[in-house]
Copies of this chain bind each other. A is one copy, B any other.
Amino acid sequence: MDREQILDALRAVRAGEMTPEAALGLFAQAPYEDIGYAKIDHHRGLRNGSGEVIYGAGKTAGQIAGIVERMLAAGGENILITRMDADKAAAVAQAVPLFYDALSRVGIANRVEKPLAGSVVVASGGTSDLPVCEEAALTAEALGSRVTRLYDVGVAGLHRLLSHVEQLQSARVVVAVAGMEGALASVIGGLVDCPVIAVPTSVGYGANFGGLSALLSMLNACATGISVVNIDNGFGAGFLANRINRMKGLEE
């Protein structure tokens, strides 16, 4: 319900083309479409990018397919579906054209080639963090960002990370994914001059407490330029990374 739409409606009211009551009603109903089990505007902000997003957890395969069909009917491309397990994906693939990545549980309906731009680096501490990494990477790619993957560069073997300093320093945004002690974000934060999005993962055991250790570690990072998203939230990091990566230049 943006400013222009409000003004348009108000102008129609002034012109006598619309009653005030109708205008109020319009405000209330316009911006989403209700298909019973969902209101298909859940990721409105994404329309400005290059795809749509459906959160797959807690939805049945039938519901997911139904939403996708509506979106396809509206001309949707590269429709992102996150946290969809393999069984649901198989069922959805019966109904609509679907790319599916089992590791990250990400699906993309009606996938079409699109030019990728900019530079997002997704770096991970260990191999166990890969599902979260790929959720971030596939999300950013589906939205139009070029992604470089630097996996298994944890701080315990610093030379592996340092051997990729050049790639890190040429990024526009870095997504730093790490479980356990989450030190990767701090170390990368000290090496680059671009924004760093830290993703704590629940990988680990014992006093890891489901990702709490990495979360606290990243929030307390001593380096500057770092912010944090929820534990295991690869989608959120990939979405935000794309938003930053695709920013227009500053008109000074």
Residues of chain A whose beta carbon lies under 8 Å from any beta carbon of chain B: 1-3, 6-7, 10-11, 13-14, 16, 19-21, 23-24, 27-29, 31-32, 37-39, 41-46, 48, 53, 57-59, 115, 117-118, 125-128, 152, 154-160, 162-166, 169, 172, 179-183, 185-187, 189-191, 193-195, 197, 200, 202-233, 236-237, 239-240, 243-252
Contact = CB atoms under 8 A, between A and B. Distances in A.
Contacts of A163: 27-29, 31
Nearest to A245: B250
Contact of A206 (B2, B180, B232): B232
A21 B48 contact: no
B204 A45 contact: no
A35 to B, nearest CB: 11
Contact of A24 (B10, B128, B187, B219): B10
A155 B230 CA distance: 18
Contact of A252 (B115, B166, B180): B115
B222 A48 contact: no
A219 B205 CA distance: 10
Nearest to A151: B39
Nearest to A16: B14
Contacts of A221: 156, 180-181, 183
Contacts of A118: 250, 252
B219 A213 contact: yes
Q: Give the copy number.
A: 8
A177 to B, nearest CB: 13
The 7 closest A-B pairs by CB, nearest first: A249-B249, A206-B231, A183-B183, A28-B163, A10-B20, A227-B227, A213-B216
B10 A190 contact: no
**Which one of A180, A194, A222 has the greatest number of beta carbons of chain B within 10 Å?**
A222
A180 B226 CA distance: 14
A9 to B, nearest CB: 8
A45 B226 CA distance: 12
A181 B180 contact: no
B220 A127 contact: no
27 contacts: A2-B169, A3-B165, A3-B166, A7-B24, A10-B13, A10-B23, A11-B20, A14-B19, A27-B163, A29-B163, A38-B152, A45-B193, A53-B224, A59-B127, A118-B252, A156-B187, A181-B183, A181-B218, A181-B221, A206-B210, A206-B215, A207-B216, A213-B217, A219-B231, A224-B239, A247-B249, A249-B249
